[in-house]
Structure 1
Amino acid sequence: MELRHLRYFVAVAEERNFTRAAERLHIAQPPLSRQIQQLEEALGVPLFERNARPLKLTDAGRFFYSHAVQLLAQTTELESMTKRVGKIERSMSVGFVGSTLYGMLPKIIRRFRSEYPAVELSLHEMSTMDQIKALKEGRIDVGFGRIRHEDPSVRRVVLREERMIVALPVGHPLDSAKPVLSLHDLVNDTLIIFPKAPRPSYADQVLAAFHDRALQPRKIYETRELQIALGLVAMGEGVSVVPHSVYGLKRDDISYKPLDDPNLVSPIIMSMRMLDESEDIRAMQALIYRLYDEAQMEYLPPQPE
């Protein structure tokens, strides 16, 4: 006996007519009659009074009908629950720092959703340090940040090293002075850094770049986020060292200049739990490298496992 036998039987019992039941089931009448006959032979009892018009259930048929309806309802519920469980299991929570949104991350998320529609993605903006904590607590499954932080429970993959550039207000003397700038050129300006908190953050990477070269900006202005920093730059309040991906914003009140030192970079780091070998995380990582190739962007190739 198979589930289809139960469905066919219930349809005939409710329609009290083989022709209408066949139409309801979208099958021909002769195969339906054969299926019901096979069911009766398997059970060893007649389920319908064949001579009655309309069809009537026998006592055994009425008993079988009540339980068949329950079984089919339970089967439908089981199917629905299993799909929900499968959907829950194929979910991925992604943490990210705000500055990664100006690079490839939006495209990565869109493409992943397109290629893996069964995986439900949820996004959470949080600092790199908060990502580490969230990974360990199971609140996110993968994080994208910029801070190199060692933790035995977290595996890091440096995807690429993003060059830093300078954001200047249009008309700034350095805008027309030379095509490529150095950090030394910026020390007499107010340096606008972000985010102000929590730390450590991208702001500390910028400050470390100056300190490593024995440079100290004349004045430092700390602000909460990149967009505010760019707004302050546009107003002429100072200059800011930003990731190269920010150039894509192309504001008409800000000029971007490259820096002369190729070592002035900020990493894009993908973090996950050390023992997490999820197929979906591996798929996302493979997709990232594929998108980098499509965009002809430089990146650090994955290390062999």
Structure 2
Amino acid sequence: MDTRLLQTFMALARTGSFTAAAAELHVVQSTVTSHIKALEGELDVRLFDRLPQGARLTDAGRRVATHARDLLDVERRLHDSASSGGTIAGEVVIGATESLCAYLLPQVISALATTHPDIQVHLKPLSTANALQGLGRPEGGLDIALLLDDDVAIEYAARTIGGQAIELVAAAGHPAAGGHHDWQDLAAYQYFLLEEGCSYTDRFLRDLTAASAARPRITRFGSIEAARSCVAAGLGLSVLPRLAVVDQLANGSLCRVNGPELSETPLHLVTNQRRWASPAVTTTAEAIAQAGRQSR
């Protein structure tokens, strides 16, 4: 079997779009269409339902995806074995929360570009749930997930490589910037928090609502930059990883709010223990683990 057909199949399963799959594979859309038709003909089964909103795996397609992922892993392992003792090379796809993509992983990628220039690292900013799905599903396409979360499901091979301090921050001129504030005081303010599912913001909100009869005013964002900008404009408070606000704390545009102590959030490096990890994936994972330990 031509493994190019399987690569195209997995790209379409991952993206759900013939156009997006073509862009990912750097081919024209007609090539994706012809590859899928060829694979369906060879297997004598329909792999995708063609819908107005895109391509969706059929039940047969989902079964094929598991074995296709295994075959492609074997192909990668064969190539790596043939070049054993030589240059470590290959693509590594990392799914991580936005703050880690923006403030921790760029330094890792920069260092790898110097020590292992043939490793190509791709970052995908994802929520914890989406990163774990991308790692666990055969068509998910992730090799590594890097997560700031209190806990990770045990079916994944997760190791805690460090932790990140969480800061309650306000603009320098905000009323919360002075004095000490208990939970009752804090419940009176407006908050700009990351979307539901972010463990440290969900934990903060649970503590805040449990300690006060007042209902805090909450605006949720999918972007750290948006939340941080609203806080810097003096509109309210937020809880963010220290690595995302360290520059603003240093230049005075944000300040720490003196209030209840916030727990550090563990930093987890997660892989799929059912899949073979290439030397490129292993090397990248070790570089991330070292950076995680140094960032505490």
| TM-superposed deviation, 1:282 | 3.3
What is the rounded CA distance, in whole Å, between the counterparts of 1:89 and 1:116 in structure 2?
Answer: 8
Report the counterpart of residue 27 of structure 1 in structure 2. Answer: none
What is the rounded CA distance, in whole Å, between the counterparts of 1:116 and 1:245 in structure 2?
Answer: 26
Report the counterpart of residue 158 of structure 1 in structure 2. Answer: 160
| TM-superposed deviation, 1:133 | 1.0
Matches within 5 A, 1:181-192: 183-192=183-192
Query: In structure 2, what residue type is equivalent to 1:174?
Result: A
| TM-superposed deviation, 1:101 | 3.5
**Structure 1 unaligned residues grouped into runs of 5+:** 1-81, 299-305
Distance 1:200 1:292, change over 3 A: closer
What is the rounded CA distance, in whole Å, between the counterparts of 1:162 and 1:215 in structure 2?
Answer: 30
What is the rounded CA distance, in whole Å, between the counterparts of 2:276 and 2:224 in structure 1?
Answer: 34
Matches within 5 A, 1:1-305: 90-138=90-138, 139-148=141-150, 150-178=152-180, 183-195=183-195, 199=197, 202-211=200-209, 218-250=216-248, 254-257=253-256, 264-276=263-275, 278=277, 279-291=279-291, 295=294, 297-298=295-296
What is the rounded CA distance, in whole Å, between the counterparts of 2:192 and 2:89 in structure 1?
Answer: 43
| TM-superposed deviation, 1:193 | 0.9
Decide whether the 8 Å contact of 1:167 with 1:241 is kept in 2.
yes
| Partner-residue secondary structure (3-state), 2:178 | helix
Distance 1:89 1:112, change over 3 A: closer
Distance 1:134 1:145, change over 3 A: same
| Partner-residue secondary structure (3-state), 1:208 | helix
Residues 245-297 of structure 1, C-alpha deviations (whole Å, 9 max, x = no match): 1222317673221666555222222111023452333323332343456x5x4
What is the rounded CA distance, in whole Å, between the counterparts of 2:155 and 2:193 in structure 1?
Answer: 30
Residues 107-143 of structure 1, C-alpha deviations (whole Å, 9 max, x = no match): 1221123222222211111111111111122411001
Which protein is bigger by CA-based radius of gyration? 1
Query: In structure 2, what residue type is equivalent to 1:237?
Result: L
Distance 1:99 1:183, change over 3 A: farther
* Percent sequence identity over aligned pairs: 15
What is the rounded CA distance, in whole Å, between the counterparts of 1:231 and 1:257 in structure 2?
Answer: 15
TM-score with structure 1 setting the length: 0.58
Decide whether the 8 Å contact of 1:102 with 1:248 is kept in 2.
no
| TM-superposed deviation, 1:240 | 0.7
Query: In structure 2, what residue type is equivalent to 1:285?
Result: A
Distance 1:134 1:101, change over 3 A: closer
Query: In structure 2, what residue type is equivalent to 1:234?
Result: A
Residues 156-214 of structure 1, C-alpha deviations (whole Å, 9 max, x = no match): 12222212112212212232325xx6555422111221125xx3555323323435656
